[in-house]
Structures are given as C-alpha cells and as structure tokens.
Structure 1
C-alpha cells in the first residue's frame, strides 16, 4: 500500500504533462488564438474576451493573465524566435490626418462667411453647397487618424442617428419653439451656429482620441495585470472627455451656440471612441435613444393639441417655458452622454478594447 501510494503521489517537482498540465489544456482550447497572435498582449486580450481573469490565471499557477499569456505564447513553436514583448502598432504620421480633421472647421468657417454675405437664392445655394462640403469633409476626417474605426465596425444605424442629431441641432430648437407657440405658421428659423461649433470641434476630438488611445496602449504594454490596467485607463478616458468638454464650451461661447451643442459634442465623441475600439453597438444604442427622445418631445407637443391629450405636452412645455427650447436637446444628449460614459469606463478599460484598435498616431 505504501508503494502504491508513493507511486501515485505526483511529487512537488513533477513536470506538468497531459491531464496534469492545465496550461496545456488551455493551449489546446485556444490554440487558434495563440498561434495567430503576434505578441503575448494579443493573447491576453483574447483570453479576457473568453472570460479569463487574473483570478482565473491563478488557477493556472500564474499571477495574472499577462503572465499566463506569455507562457502560452512561448509554448507555440515559432522557429526558435524568442517571445516578443508587446509593442505598440506603427504610428501614422500626424501630417497624414491633421489636415483632414481641420477641414470640417475650415469648410464651416467659409460657409458661415458665405451665408452672411448672400441673400435669397444665392444664400440657399451656398447653404446646400456648405452641407455637401461639410458631409464630405466629415467623412474624410473619420477615415484617417485617431477617429478611424476598423472596416465593418460602425453600426449602420449610427450614421442615421448622427444625421438626425445634427439636423435637430440646426432646426430642432426653432421647430420646437414654433410648436409650443401653436405653429409653425411659416418656415421656422434655423441655427447654423451648432453646426459650426461641432465642425470646429472635430480637430480637438481627434487629438483627445489620440491622447486616450496612445496613452492606453502604452499603459497596456506596461501593465502586469488586468485590474492594474483598468485602474490606470479610466482616468485617461475621463481626461479625454473633459478636454473635449472644455473645447466645446469655449467654441460654443465664442459662436453663441446653444448649450445643448456641448452635450451633443461630448455624446458624439464618446460614441466615436467606443466605435473606434470595437464597441459600436453601445454607441448606436445611445445615439438612437437620444434621437427617439428628441422625436418624442416634438411628437408630444403635437399630440397635446388633440382633445383630452393636453397632459402629454405638459412636461416639454414646462421645460421650454423655464429654460427655453435648447434645454430639451441639452437634457436628452447630456443624459445619453452620461449613460454612455458610464458604459465606456467599463468597456474601454478592458485590454481587448485596445489590443486590436486601429493604429494610434
């Protein structure tokens, strides 16, 4: 019996083999991920997606997921090549995208000047040309540099929701004021100032996205645990959003834009950051919810004109009477931005959100 017991006892120095090697079992389970990884960092991010945490790594006799990923990387034969440390992706020259993110603001300034100097049909022509030029400049700005998302990531509905929010920023306040007053009896006034502010804010948004992505990648490469990385990256996200908030506030004050423009600009930045880092569904959901709330505000005022449905319009009328029509998009976009920021502080503090992000300039 003693001999049998001794024969079955593994001993402290026994190597891990077969069923007694949990790391080997994990390697078989995630072999495709490990073999296709270019560095241990990519493996760590992939393991995180599959639910492996630092606590899980302890069961594999490792202090954290990064250490476990390094062993998995080393176990796959690579022609004698030693494991490479995690490296940041190649940087795209700033000059390649700086002009593109400045273009929307430049087009908006030229358009504002053209609208101020023209009247009648000529003014209408300038307005149409400005909208087309701004659309082209905006598309170009998000296809290069820090605002670029990987192909296929943006949800299709995101573009539609963004267009609605921009359209409401220009025409929504005037329409709501006219509806509350019993109209509209004629074409309500448009407000080009929000579009000017948002176009000018594309450049600071790109720099904030660059700051966040670049610092997060460096933090990821230097971290030795997922919890350590998450703790360090959350202040980076809040700093990026705070800088954009300051830029939007200054631009809105200079252009005389309604305060709802600031909330909309922050909402669009957070949504874009989530899209860039592979979380477009949450961005689309928040933008869609904001659009639905703005549409509901307009519809409730119209419904309140029907017999017996006057209470439906009471909340919106109370807000407009107290703070003006600009308060409605400010409350809607501000609430959506706060909710999306709360989600982003969790989603963007995961290693997997940065390991496969677009190259950061």
Structure 2
C-alpha cells in the first residue's frame, strides 16, 4: 500500500502510518531517524499535512512519542545484515572508478601523440594513486553526515548543515590530486627531461610547464569522476556509483576512439558525466536517509 493511499482517507491517518512503519518507529533512536525513514519511503510535506502536521519532522516526533521502543532481544545482540558483506559491496563500488581510470589511462597513453604520452601516463598514475584520497574524503563526508543527523533538530536544519560539506569534500580530494599530479610531473621532468637546451626556473618551473591548462582541466574532471562515485557508494547509492563510474569511462573512451584529443575527451565526455553526477549527488546526498 502506498503512502498516498494510506493517508488518503482514514479516521486517524497517523495510526495508519504507525502501522505501516511500526518497525522503523520501534527501532529509531530519535525522531530524526523516523523522519529520514519516512522521507526515504517517499513521504513529504503533503503527507505531513494530511496528518495535521506542518512538516515531516513534526510528524516523526508524534510517531516517536506514540510508538514504544522495541526492547533489546535477550542474549547476544544479533548482527545487522551488512557488516562484512556491506563493506565488500562498498569496496566493490568504490573500485569501479579506479578500474575506469586504469582503462582510460591505457587508451589515453596509446592515443596521445608521442611527446604528450609521458605526461598522460604521469597524470593518469597520479589520479590512480589519489583513489585513496577519494575514499578518505567519502569516509569523512559520511562521518560528518551522521554527526549532523544526530545534531540537527529538523530535516531542513540537517540539509542546511550538509549543504557546504559536499563542496569541501570535493575540494579536499581535488587538492590532494593536484599535489600528486604536480609531484608526478616533477618526477617526469627529472627522469625524462625534454630535449634541447636546459631551461631556468628550477624543478618547479619544469614541472609546471609539462602540462598545459587543458590537461590540468581534464585532470580536474578526472578527479571528480573518481571521488563522486565513491561518495555515492559510501552513502548507500551503489547503483548510481556504478552507473556514474561506467558512464564516465565509456564517454571518455568513446571520444578517444572517435579521434578526439585526450584533454578534449576528458573535458567533453568526462565533463558531461561529472556534471550530471554532481547534480545527482547534491540532491541524493542531501537526504537524511543516506546516513542512517
């Protein structure tokens, strides 16, 4: 029975809602957890209004007050489904971006002109190493989300608290990727110096001039294609993470196969997918149910 049908015509719509979501109400540790569960079930302000409440959180507070908490079972506490299995699922979803990067890196190196090939490989290796940073940013993001879920008084307050967290998480990962990329180019400048007379300015200058603005922009897109699927996977959106990672790699490789240059393929193909993922993540990760 859907939420809309359930609330449409009962004498006590709150009682009917209690019956449908009794398990959620019994195990909830606070009203915000009930509100998050109702939101995940597709209920919103309209459903709250039919129950004579101004918002979903006020409705959740009544449900929390009316449904007694479920007592803990005797004996050892059973483990929730998840545990190692959930960790493996998340790890598998988080590994998809790395696999896509590895595949794209391979074709990128083959498609790049001879002079640009070492730079493409160096930047690709830096991106692969930054996968650990993407995982760290995703863990931090989820931890902050869980903290705000417990501290926020309403769903609107939770969303307001979370609004700046996603840009910070992305910026942290991109900063690490930038440092790793610059270090890779510095190593390249030492082990494979460009032919011709030496240039002044030292190692930093040599590293900076190995990649142009288009290559750095493409590296930023690559960084977003790494971190966004991992963020989504960590917050329970494994299917979206898998689709995003696969679509990013496929778009880049498809444009490379059509003869586009590597930076152009990343900026056009990867950039489009990264923008779509960013919009989706902004909407999906703002929901309290992603952190329960």
Does TM, scored on the shorter chain, surpass 0.5? Answer: yes
Q: Where do residues 22-33 of structure 1 align in structure 2 (5 Å cutoff)?
A: 22-33=13-24
Structure-2 residue corresponding to 1:342: 279
Aligned to 1:173: 108
Match of 2:143 in 1: 214
Deviation at 1:45, TM superposition (A): 1.5
Decide whether the 8 Å contact of 2:112 with 2:120 is kept in 1: no
Q: In the alignment, what sits opposite 1:273?
A: 231
Change (3 A) 1:235 1:79: closer
Q: Name the residue aligned to 2:171.
A: 242
2:99 corresponds to 1:163:
yes
Cα separation, 2, equivalents of 1:297 and 1:54: 44
Residues 162-311 of structure 1: pairs in structure 2 closer than 5 A: 162-169=98-105, 171-177=106-112, 192-256=121-185, 258-259=215-216, 260-301=218-259
Contact 1:270–1:344 (CA under 8 A) maintained in structure 2: yes
Contact 1:173 1:326 (8 Å CA) reproduced: no
Query: Could you list the per-position Cα deviations for residues 257-288 of structure 1 after superposition, in whole angstroms to 9, with x for gaps in the alignment?
Result: 75333322221111111011111222222222
From 50, 55, 59, give the equivalent of 2:50: 59
Q: 1:152 to 1:37 in 2, by over 3 A?
A: farther
What are the within-5 Å matches in structure 2 for residues 31-50 of structure 1? 31-50=22-41
Cα distance, 1:230–1:160 mapped onto 2, change above 3 Å:
closer
Assess, with a 3 A threshold, how the Cα gap between structure 1 residues 299 and 205 changes in structure 2: closer, same or farther. closer
Unaligned residue ranges in structure 1 (runs of 5+): 1-18, 82-142, 180-187, 302-315, 356-361
> Would the aligned equivalents of 2:225 and 2:274 in 1 still touch at CA under 8 Å?
yes
SS at 1:168 equivalent: helix
Q: Distance between the aligned counterparts of 1:225 and 1:236, measured in 2?
A: 17
The alpha-carbon deviation at position 290 of structure 1 amounts to 1.9
Task: Choose the corresponding residue for 1:74, options 57, 65, 72.
Answer: 65
Q: What displacement does 1:168 show?
A: 1.9
Instruction: Quote the offset at 1:345 in angstroms.
Output: 0.3
Q: Which residue of 2 aligns with 1:21?
A: 12
SS in 1 for 2:171: helix
Distance change >3 Å, CA 204–CA 189, structure 1 → 2: closer
Q: 1:242, 1:58 → 2: CA distance?
A: 39
CA 1:219–1:60: 2 relative to 1, 3 Å: same
Counterpart-to-counterpart distance in 2, 1:204 and 1:351: 24
Higher mean displacement: 35-44 or 22-31: 35-44
Whole-Å separation in 2 of the counterparts to 1:255 and 1:190: 9
Distance 2:142 2:91 in 1: 18
How many equivalent pairs are there?
243
Where does residue 333 of structure 1 map in the other structure? 270
Bigger radius of gyration, 1 or 2? 1
SS in structure 2 at match of 1:172: helix
Structure 1 distance, partners of 2:95, 2:237, is: 15
Cα offset, 1:37, TM superposition? 3.2
Deviation, 1:348, is 0.2
Q: Which residue of 2 aligns with 1:14?
A: none
Tell me how far 1:346 sits from its aligned partner.
Answer: 0.2
Give the alignment's Cα RMSD to 1 decimal. 3.4
TM-score of the superposed pair, with normalisation by structure 1: 0.58
The 8 Å contact of residues 45 and 352 in structure 1, kept in 2 or not, is answered as yes
